[in-house]
Structures are given as C-alpha cells and as structure tokens.
C-alpha cells in the first residue's frame, strides 16, 4: 500500500462531494478509512524550541501511558478501521518500553501501513531492527536543523551524533528490510537557508521522503517567531534547488511551491477532521466515546456519523472550511 499515492489522489480529486460520498460508502461497508494517530505515552526526551514541550505549564498536564491490556482494547476498538497507524503524534513513542508490541498489534489487525514518528535520539540499530521485525513500514523523523549547531540548538537535549547513528543504521538495514524513512523538516527564518546543505550532511541512501513544512504556532513555545515574510521571496528558488537534489537522490519531496499564507484555504484538507483519529491515554477520537465498552460502530451510530458524512457531500466548501488547514504540501514523484 502506498500512502503517498493516496495523498496525491486526495489532491487530484478537487470535488469534496466525491470525497465525502466515498468516505460515507467506506464507512457503511465497514472498510478502512481512518488515519489513527496514537500516543502511547505522554512524555518526550527532548525540549525542542518549536514544540509545546518547552511550555513548562503545559507539560505538567501531559501525564499517563497505556497499559498493555488497554492497548489491546484500543486495537480491538479501532484498528479494523485504520488505513494507517501512526505511532507518535504529539509525544515521543520510543519512551514506551513495549513499542514493537504496538506494531505487532497493528499487523495482527491488518493495518496496511504503520509508521513511527520520532526524534530518533533513543533509537539504535537493535531497536530499529526490532520494530522492523514487528512489521513497521516507515520511520518518520523530526528534524529542525541541518548542521550540528542548528540541530542541537533547536532540539534541546538532543545529540547530533546519536541522530546520525540512527540514520547510519537505517542505511545499513535497508539492504535487509523493505521500509521507508521520512524526514519532517520544520523551517523558520533562522533554519531555512541551511536546507541547501541537507545532502552534504545526510546520505540520500539513508532516507526516502523529505517533507518541508513551515513553522506553525502550536502553543506557548520557546521559539515564537512565526513571521516568514522575510524569506518568502527566496523560498521558490531554494525549493527548486532542493527538488533537484531530491531527484538526483531518488527522494520523494513533499513541499508547497510557495509558503502558504495564513489565510489560504487548502481544499484537500476538508476531509481531514473526518479521517483523523487521535488516541492517547487521555483522549480517544471524540469526546463521549466510551471506547473500553463501546464499539466504533455503536458509537458512530449513536452520534449519527454516517449521516454527517453523507450530509457533508451536499454542503459548500465554505461550510466545511477546515480550521486546521492541513496538508499544505504537494506530493511529487521524482
């Protein structure tokens, strides 16, 4: 299964009516259409300056982790509807001791694509291989700086050496396992230009996908300069250079052709809130879902989920405008 072709298809289908009718049909037929984003433990080993983990007051509210029996119930409740399982959404999943067991649960319930989103600082070759043996399809790696100075400056408590050790292990294990490595690079005006040096520091054989996304306000973060106007004019030229470098290294690039404006509506994101399912020790999809005792189908019936999906096919784009404005990048096949 190629998740990225589905993302590309989502952008090619311009009609939200077709998309919602498709979701409605998949729901009625008990098919998979959810992107389940699972945080098994509410903690992180780093304090990245662009992340809400630098907000001490907010961090105090992030407590708890799933017990093994709770994860089994999570899997029983939602995994049969998952098209993709992303382990790690807002916290660091490698802090969870039994991480490979979650991957195995996903495979047990037939989830087609399973990804772990991580800062990679706690990964070594043994841990990486354990996840691959369990059936992991992709590592999604957060990166906020290309050089050692920038990387460790933006990702406080991190180790540039440990990060590169993980990428060396990825490159080595690619000869033995079929999996993808994706870099998520969040840029601001202070780490933007060093993107031109990316392939001077990272081997194109160690990763497969590069996503470049602009900084967003996600809380009371230590780094709080969200103004990108000073680099807007230079952005297209740099993206062209990055695109050429990606093509030369057979890397898939996920990036917008220009910096999206805050008021810009991305029509591809209209279905996001209807496919995104967030699960953590403190939250399960929607408020009021008694997931330990209630099935997904029973709860969906109780809240009229099928009717809402169907009705959305006949609403205007203005009515459906996503406040989160997700998926602000293009999918390009090089």
How large is the average pLDDT for residues 115-144? 98
Q: What is the side-by-side strand order in the sheet with 276-280?
A: 283-284, 276-280, 34-38, 82-87, 113-118, 138-143, 180-187, 209-214, 252-255, 330-332
pLDDT at 210: 97
**What is the average per-residue pLDDT within 13-19?**
92
Backbone angles phi, psi at 87, to 5 degrees: -95, 115
Tens-place pLDDT, residues 285-298: 999 999 999 999 99
- Beta strand 209-214 with 252-255: parallel, antiparallel or unpaired? parallel
Percent of the chain with pLDDT over 70: 94
* The pLDDT of residue 277 is above 90: yes
What's the rounded Cα separation, in Å, for the pair 191 and 194?
6
Average pLDDT over the chain, rounded to whole?
92
| Per-residue confidence (pLDDT) for residue 323, from 0 to 100 | 42
Q: How many percent of the chain have pLDDT more than 90?
A: 80
Angstrom distance (rounded) from CA 110 to CA 85: 10
127 in Cβ contact with 89 (< 8 Å)? no
pLDDT for the residue 55: 84
Question: How much is the pLDDT for 266?
Answer: 60
CA–CA dist 309, 22 (Å, integer): 9
Residue 269 has what pLDDT? 73
**What is the mean predicted confidence (pLDDT) over 294-318?**
95
> Closest Cα to residue 93, out of 61, 49, 46?
46
Predicted confidence band of residue 328 (pLDDT cuts 50, 70, 90): very low
Give the chain's end-to-end CA distance (angstroms, integer). Answer: 18
CA pair distance 196, 62, nearest whole angstrom = 36
Task: Assess contact for 229 and 203: CB atoms under 8 A.
Answer: no
Smallest CA-to-CA distance from 92 within 132, 44, 22 is with: 44
Helix (H) or strand (E) holding 194: none
Q: Averaged over 153-172, what is the pLDDT?
A: 97
Q: CA nearest 224: which of 143, 119, 158, 154?
A: 154
């Amino acid at each position: 299964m190629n998740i990225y072709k589905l993302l590309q298809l989502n952008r090619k289908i311009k009609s939200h009516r077709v998309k919602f009718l498709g979701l409605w049909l998949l729901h009625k037929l008990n098919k998979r259409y959810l992107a389940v984003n699972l945080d098994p433990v509410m903690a992180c080993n780093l304090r990245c300056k662009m992340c809400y983990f630098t907000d001490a007051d907010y961090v105090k509210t992030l407590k708890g982790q799933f017990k093994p029996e709770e994860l089994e119930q999570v899997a029983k409740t939602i995994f049969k509807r998952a098209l993709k399982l992303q382990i790690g959404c807002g916290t660091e999943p490698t802090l969870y001791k039994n991480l490979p067991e979650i991957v195995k649960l996903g495979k047990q319930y037939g989830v087609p694509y399973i990804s772990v989103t991580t800062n990679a600082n706690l990964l070594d070759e043994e841990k990486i291989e354990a996840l691959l043996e369990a059936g992991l399809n992709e590592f999604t790696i957060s990166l906020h700086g290309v050089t050692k100075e920038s990387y460790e400056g933006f990702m406080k408590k991190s180790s540039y050496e440990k990060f590169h050790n993980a990428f060396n292990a990825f490159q080595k294990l690619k000869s033995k396992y079929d999996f993808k490595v994706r870099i998520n690079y969040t840029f601001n005006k202070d780490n933007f230009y060093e993107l031109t040096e990316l392939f001077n520091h990272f081997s194109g054989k160690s990763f497969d996908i590069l996503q470049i996304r602009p900084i967003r306000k996600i809380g009371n973060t230590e780094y709080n300069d969200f103004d990108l106007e000073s680099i807007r004019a230079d952005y297209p030229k740099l993206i062209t250079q990055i695109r050429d470098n990606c093509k030369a290294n057979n890397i898939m690039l996920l990036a917008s052709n220009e910096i999206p404006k805050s008021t810009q509506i991305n029509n591809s994101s209209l279905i996001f809130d209807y496919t995104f399912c967030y699960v953590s020790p403190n939250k399960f999809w929607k408020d009021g879902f008694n997931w330990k005792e209630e099935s997904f189908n029973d709860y969906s019936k109780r809240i009229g989920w099928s009717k809402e999906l169907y009705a959305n096919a006949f609403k205007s784009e203005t009515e459906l405008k996503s406040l989160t404005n997700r998926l602000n990048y293009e999918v390009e096949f090089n």
